Chains A and B, each alone.
Chain A
Amino acid sequence: RPRVASDPVAFSHLGSGSNPFQHLEKSAVLQEARIFNETPINPRRCLHILTKIIYLLNQGEHFGTTEATEAFFAMTRLFQSNDQTLRRMCYLTIKEMANISEDVIIVTSSSSYVFPMLSPQTTMLQAIERYMKQAIVDKVPSVSSSALVSSLHMVKMSYDVVKRWVNEAQEAASSDNVMVQYHALGLLYHLRKNDRLAVTKMLNKFTKSGLKSPFAYCMLIRIASKLLDETEGGHDSPLFDFIESCLRNKNEMVVYEAASAIVHMPNCTARELAPAVSVLQLFCSSPKAALRYAAVRTLNKVAMKHPSAVTACNLDLENLITDSNRSIATLAITTLLKTGSESSVDRLMKQISSFVSEISDEFKVVVVQAISALCQKYPRKHSVMMNFLSNMLRDDVNESVCLWLGGFDYKRAIVDCIISIIEENPESKETGLAHLCEFTRTATRPFAQVRKKGTAQNFKSAVSALAKFGAQNDDLLPSVLVLMQRCMMDSDDEVRDRATFYMNVLQQKQKALNAAYIFNGLSVSIPGLEKSLHQYTLEPLEKPFDMKTVPLATTPISEQKTDIAPVATSKLPERLAPSRQDIYQEQLAAVPEFHGLGPLFKSSEPVQLTEAETEYVVRCIKHTFARHMVFQFDCTNTLNDQLLQKVLVQMEPSESYEVIHYIPAATLPYSQPGSSYTLVRLPDDDPTAVSCTFSCTMKYLVKDCDPNTGEPDDDGYDDEYVLEDLEVTVADHIQKVLKPNFAAAWEEVGDEFEKEETFALASVRTLDEAVGNIISFLGMQPCERSDKVPENKNSHVLFLAGVFRGGHDVLVRARLALADGVTMQVTVRSGEETVVDVILASVG
């Protein structure tokens, strides 16, 4: 135990206990190193100097290349000394210094030692290959281990050379020595890991031969787990049996490794978990803290997916609540929170608040996450949770700024948690908002220091969250507006901008505006918006700027329930990489014939129009504009004895689409893809005719050429190649748009053009299938997580959102019922009547 400074014995130690290395000076030590050149060598003195050099290196002292050079030369002399310790320290020093100069290789051998390699180059490796092979199979375990581990380090540099030593490594694996077994196994695995068959064979051999080494067993368990994962092997495989048998190994390290491996397997049943859990349960009462910690940490993970499997351990976990190791106590409590009953919540929360200020930030986050999960499970406990969380916030605010800075991440977790509590429990919103206001108010004091470190992002998110509250709750609006005003005077530009923006929107007190700007935000492509605005300022028109002319952002923002950053201002243009669509827009804009088409609405995923392994490989990308479509055909010529020229794809539409223009790819040499375009006009007369099938034929001029030189003949001949038909469907006219608040959007669009129809879905057996089909057919974005159909339900409501070509919002509500097949009632809303008709016609 560390002694206290007031202890006289300890004090006497400290008083005279100056560090003999404390005032070492690098140049002085290197000066001393000159005695290495003396004859005879004085081992004691040389040893001492080497020790000083290593100490300096250890403390981070930097040695320049020239300094190192002289020391190096001198040191090599020391290898000739009879003193083994000196030789070994010499080797160690050179190893430490090896990082200074690259490509140094040293190997020496004595009767009882091999010194491993230092950053060798491949050519040098071959020179010492003979030594390495001998050393690997040496009967002396330390020699063998050194060689095996050195070989492992060398694999990074030259896999091919080390691979030649696999037989020697195999031989070493049958050694009796437990460490040699471990090292041999490790090297063999690293050499074979890309060959699953070889790894399986190796595993089979070793699991049967009964290695003695606990380290080797741990390695085997990991390899077996990985194999099980990769082959998605069922758990009735010999690999699983082997891991399970390790639960009965006499070494705790192996037992724990096995339990951990089982717990981390995906799709583990409760029955398979049971033996692992009971072993962990035993470990909970071990006198070794590391074992208790490992056990409770692993049980915590089990409790996330299989809380019932852990209930058997509740008593043991209770005992750990008062463990002197606070990490163990925290883990025990959070596990109990997951597996215990509602009645235990108060008691556990009380216990944890007694020491929460002592635990590290990593564990504070664990606690907050556990509480978050708990809130969803036991909504009635929200006031207890809320108090606890706000206490956590408050406590830290009073601590020093340094701790505050370090702990900002977990504060964000707390803020998120409070917000989700409020969202789930309307009656908690008063207290919740009060806590948040207090947080933002008290946050302003150290805020200046916080902002310097660049963590203001969290504060901006809090501002946006406040706006959401103000928009959702009329009675809270006045308080929110007051806070917003404060933020408008913040020194940070973005905070002020956000606050001003939200103030203006909130003050209008219009639901539609709130829906558009606070809840659902902008979904346009930011670079696209920048371009459109720029264009607008150059040629100002009578009518106001129309957002509908701006292309939409193509990557749908994934929905996150606790995400409080608004879409509107969460990205700054300079930080956005151009999306796929932006790139296409640029490419198409470069073609003069496409200038009058307007902005690009949507580009589809590539569609293959040829089978694999054909002479010509063609895929098509469909670009949708306001009244046109451009089909981009990416063609590749896979014949090395042909050169294609003037390549275009002729299209014959089945409906009243009109092909206007072909832009051929000038030349297609072997294996160099080129693009050809076909411009098609959408039918004017029938706006609901959005689908069409095109039969496609590639037409070109072909010149035979020399496969070796690529030189073409002078003459060619016309030829054609039939491609698969290309489909244009309603999905090509719709862009996905996520509405985080579907109800608000539904209200905003209004029912002026609402239409409804009921359909019987033939050949669809399950709700899941129906939902999947509709989503992919319409190409619209599922909202409010309605793409997930809960198990064992006979009815479901699917919410879809999108924008139709031309910039018209379109929303679909589909009510599905399962009873002798699937019936679907579709309600469509849009600002344009034709759009509604199109959707219903397509579904029909």
Chain B
Amino acid sequence: MYTLRQEPSLYTVKAVLILDNDGDRLYAKYYDDTYPTVKEQKAFEKNIFNKTHRTDSEIALLEGLTVVYKSNIDLFFYVIGSSHENELMLMAVLNCLFDSLSQMLRKNVERRALLENMEGLFLAVDEIVDGGVILESDPQQVVHRVALRGDDVPLTEQTVTQVLQSAKEQIKWSLLR
């Protein structure tokens, strides 16, 4: 009933999912270990798809989690949070994702167009949520940062090259351990 006061935290998003018309996964990013294995994740995705694809109700409580969702043509977008989370915050993430993609895909928010622009999707989600923290809620900002431009400012700084070099060494060292 009266829930234990949640610890105030920036970590608000548990997962962002995009499923196709058959409920199969097109994109999934889980930010915590609510569903630690791929098997459990896919079972969860199947469950929420079954419960939501026939209705256009926007929001539901499933498996003890708040699920906000939106569909368009043959795509289903989901943002998942704890049942104690502010539902409007989760909606803000969902809307930002959808609107950003809508701009990037020139309003063709559908499976085929999405599959032809997966890198845009990957980068967009990376701009919106980082490790479960909401990074950005304004689709304009997201599109701006993702903008698939061509050549850009070249990296000429000495310091950067140096860091790259030492980073490479670190990786070599850690991977061969």
Contact = CB atoms under 8 A, between A and B. Distances in A.
Contacts of A145: 135-136
A240 interface: no
B55 A76 contact: no
Nearest to A59: B25
B119 to A, nearest CB: 5
Contacts of B76: 2
Contact of B5 (A14, A88, A149, A225): A225
B119 A226 contact: no
B58 interface: yes
Contact of B115 (A21, A73, A82, A257): A21
Contacts of B71: 1-2
Contacts of B10: 149, 152, 182-183, 186-187, 190, 219
Contacts of A79: 155, 164
Given A2-B21, A179-B135, A363-B61, A229 B5 contact: yes
Contacts of A51: 118-119, 122
Contacts of A570: none
Interface centre among B10, B56, B122, B155 (most CB of A within 10 A): B10
Contact of B41 (A60, A229, A290): A60
A30 interface: no
A105 B175 CA distance: 11
Nearest to B87: A294
Contacts of B112: 13, 17
Overall SS of chain A's interface: helix
Interface in A54-69: 54-55, 58-60, 65, 68-69
Contacts of A218: 86, 89
Contacts of B119: 47, 50-51, 54, 85, 89
Contact of B58 (A89, A183, A325): A325
Contact of A116 (B73, B88, B130, B155): B130
Contact of A264 (B3, B60, B122, B131): B3
Most-contacted residue by chain A among B89, B130, B149 (CB, 10 A)? B130
Interface residues of A, number: 95
A222 interface: yes
A124 B58 contact: no
Nearest to B20: A19
Interface in A144-175: 145-146, 149-150, 152-153
A107 B165 CA distance: 11
A621 interface: no
A14 to B, nearest CB: 7
B99 interface: no
Contacts of B166: 127
A79 B116 CA distance: 24
B174 interface: yes
Nearest to A268: B2
B55 to A, nearest CB: 7
Interface string B110-150: 11100110110011001000110111110001000100111
A362 B2 contact: no
Interface string A679-719: 00000000000000000000000000000000000000000
B92 A76 contact: no
A219 B8 contact: yes
A336 B168 CA distance: 64
A357 interface: no
Contact of B167 (A76, A187, A266): A76
B59 interface: yes
Contacts of B21: 2, 14
Nearest to A3: B73
Contact of A84 (B3, B9, B149): B149
B61 A69 contact: no
A10 B21 CA distance: 11
A193 to B, nearest CB: 8
Nearest to A94: B171
A107 B170 CA distance: 11
Contacts of B158: none
B17 to A, nearest CB: 10
A324 B74 contact: no
Contacts of A288: 58, 91
Q: Which of B8, B28, B153 has the most CB of A within 10 A?
A: B8
Nearest to A52: B118
B104 interface: no
A142 B145 contact: yes
B170 A105 contact: yes
Contact of A325 (B7, B57, B126, B130): B57
Contacts of B1: 301, 304-305
B131 A153 contact: yes
A106 interface: yes
Contacts of B174: 101-104
A226 B5 CA distance: 7
Interface string A73-114: 100100110111100110010000000011111111111100
A305 B86 CA distance: 22
A84 B110 CA distance: 26
A65 B59 contact: no
B115 A124 contact: no
B61 A222 contact: no
Given A186-B9, A222-B8, A293-B59, A264 B152 contact: no
A3 B110 CA distance: 11
B6 A104 contact: no
Interface of A: 1-3, 10, 13-14, 17, 19-21, 47, 50-51, 54-55, 58-60, 65, 68-69, 72-73, 76, 79-80, 82-85, 88-89, 92, 101-112, 116, 124, 127, 131, 142, 145-146, 149-150, 152-153, 179, 182-183, 186-187, 189-190, 193, 215, 218-219, 222-223, 225-226, 229, 252-253, 256-257, 260, 264, 266, 288-291, 293-294, 301, 304-305, 324-327, 360, 362-363
Interface of B: 1-3, 5-10, 21, 25, 27-29, 38, 41-42, 51, 53, 55-64, 68, 71-74, 76, 86-92, 110-112, 115-116, 118-119, 122-123, 126, 130-131, 133-137, 141, 145, 148-155, 157, 160, 163-164, 166-168, 170-172, 174-176
Given A51-B118, A104-B170, A288-B91, 18 more contacts: A21-B115, A83-B150, A85-B148, A142-B145, A150-B130, A152-B133, A179-B136, A183-B133, A189-B8, A222-B8, A226-B8, A253-B86, A290-B68, A290-B87, A291-B88, A305-B1, A327-B61, A362-B62
24 contacts: A2-B53, A2-B76, A3-B74, A50-B119, A51-B118, A51-B119, A58-B28, A68-B175, A72-B171, A83-B152, A84-B153, A104-B171, A107-B163, A107-B167, A149-B10, A149-B130, A153-B131, A193-B8, A222-B6, A225-B5, A264-B5, A288-B58, A362-B62, A363-B61
